[in-house]
């Protein structure tokens, strides 16, 4: 049986604590979520019930394309992964 080196163990414990502290600081300083959630109304009710996000994303373009009822703003990213940002 190999006995652990106490100096190495202290160094690894210290590195672990520093890594965890760094991760916590990184998460604490993360920006707020600014994307609006998927609306809970009659028009969007079917999207909340769908199991597959990819299936729902395909239907978003019907209303949210340039010629649709509710077009996206010009500075909006490509609308191919809607439910990646807009949470249900």
Asked, for residue 14, whether it belongs to a domain, the answer is: no
DSSP 30: S
> Does the pLDDT value for residue 12 go beyond 80?
yes
Q: Which of 33, 38, 36, 35 lies closest to 88, judged by CA?
A: 38
Total domains in the fold of the chain: 1
What is the chain's percent helix, strand, coil content, to nearest 5? 50, 0, 50
Asked, for residue 69, whether it belongs to a domain, the answer is: yes
pLDDT of 1 reads: 60
The boundaries of the domain holding residue 68 are 45-85
Asked, for residue 53, whether it belongs to a domain, the answer is: yes
Asked, for residue 73, whether it belongs to a domain, the answer is: yes
End-to-end CA distance of the chain: 54
Predicted model pTM: 0.55
Asked, for residue 63, whether it belongs to a domain, the answer is: yes
Asked, for residue 22, whether it belongs to a domain, the answer is: no
pLDDT one-digit tens code per residue, 28-85: 999 888 888 888 888 888 888 888 888 888 888 888 877 778 888 888 887 778 888 8
């Amino acid at each position: 049986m190999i006995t652990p080196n106490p100096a190495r163990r202290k160094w690894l414990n210290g590195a672990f604590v520093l890594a965890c502290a760094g991760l916590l600081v990184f998460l604490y300083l993360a920006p707020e979520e600014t994307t609006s959630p998927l609306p809970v109304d009659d028009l969007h009710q079917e999207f909340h019930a769908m199991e597959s996000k990819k299936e729902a994303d395909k239907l978003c373009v019907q209303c949210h394309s340039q010629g649709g009822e509710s077009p996206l703003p010009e500075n909006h990213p490509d609308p191919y992964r809607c439910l990646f940002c807009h949470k249900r």
